Amino acid sequence: MCVKIGIMKTLKEYLAEAGQNGSALGHFNISNLVQLRGIISACQKTGSPAMIGTSEGEADFIGFKMARAMVDAAREETGLPIFLNADHFHSFEKAKEALDAGYDSVLIDLSKEPYEKNLEITKSVVEYAREINPEISVEGELGYLVTDSSKIYKEKIEIPPESLTKPEEALKFVNETGVDRFAPAVGNLHGIAANEPKLDFELIKKIRAVLPSEVAMVLHGGSGIPDDQMREAVKLGFNNVHISTEIRVVYVDALRKMLAVAPDETTPYKIYKPVVEAVSAKTAEKLELFGCVNKI
């Protein structure tokens, strides 16, 4: 199915609608065209908007302008509302590089820096983005996730109480920086740990209650969170959810299986066909979970 739309709404409008109807916009990271094709296939099948993320490492590997061109081509060919986000950029300079390359959105993540430094640089990124285009969505993060990488951890990960976001600081940070999206630490982590994560639903309620209604709340580290917890988190106000590790896992698993059954195959598009299908299936599963099917 190829979905065609008329005048495309902005990312801010899609996030606002998600907040109003109790769903969440999915955010999926890519390192190459294969992942993007799988994600786009899922969005076509489900009629879902989505954000495509590149971390600093992913953006450097793909190329900032190349990432922009890939997403633009996908939007033109499908008519889908997909938006390119600079995910977890850790300096003003790198955020500026993404914004200058035409990214729709940026997450400036200085959550492990002192509060005042986080506040100052996040505010600077917001101001720079507004100068380029008021519709650019900027995300800030307060409280920190104890893991940095989207991978499988064989050990149990303990989350120290001091890493969690304080509601009163969240409100101050949002008001002073002017961010459009806010990412708190509420028991989530990057990657998949040996122990099941336990989101702090009472903390989520308190943070959502103090934030302005127009500020989207973002859940990072969505991979590995049990479905029941994810549904509750979306219900309580997370209207944007990030998935990376689970996409990487199905990608690598499908690639390994293909190479094992066809060791003499040398044609890349044939090798990657089951990989695209695996990424598409996992993405569609998450889009269903987030309640954002048929929301374009």
Q: Are 184 and 233 in contact (CB under 8 A)?
A: no
The per-residue pLDDT for 163 is: 85
Residue 182 banded pLDDT, cuts 50, 70, 90: very high
176 pLDDT higher than 50: yes
**Euclidean distance between CA atoms 296 and 293, whole angstroms:** 8
Averaged over 78-107, what is the pLDDT? 98
> Residues 87, 104, 109, 200: which is the catalytic one?
87
Cα 187–chain centre separation: 17
> Is residue 5 predicted with pLDDT exceeding 50?
no
The yes-or-no answer on residue 100 being catalytic is no
Strand 216-219 with 181-184, pairing:
parallel
Distance CA 293, CA 47 (A): 6
**End-to-end alpha carbon distance in the chain:** 14
Residue 139 dihedral angles phi and psi, to the nearest 5°: -115, 140
Alpha carbon 256 to its chain centroid, in Å, reads 26
pLDDT surpasses 90 at 71: yes
Tell me, what amino acid is at 250? V
Going from the N-terminus, what domains does the chain have, and what CATH number goes with each? 11-261+273-290 (3.20.20.70)
Between CA 103 and CA 125 the distance in angstroms is 13
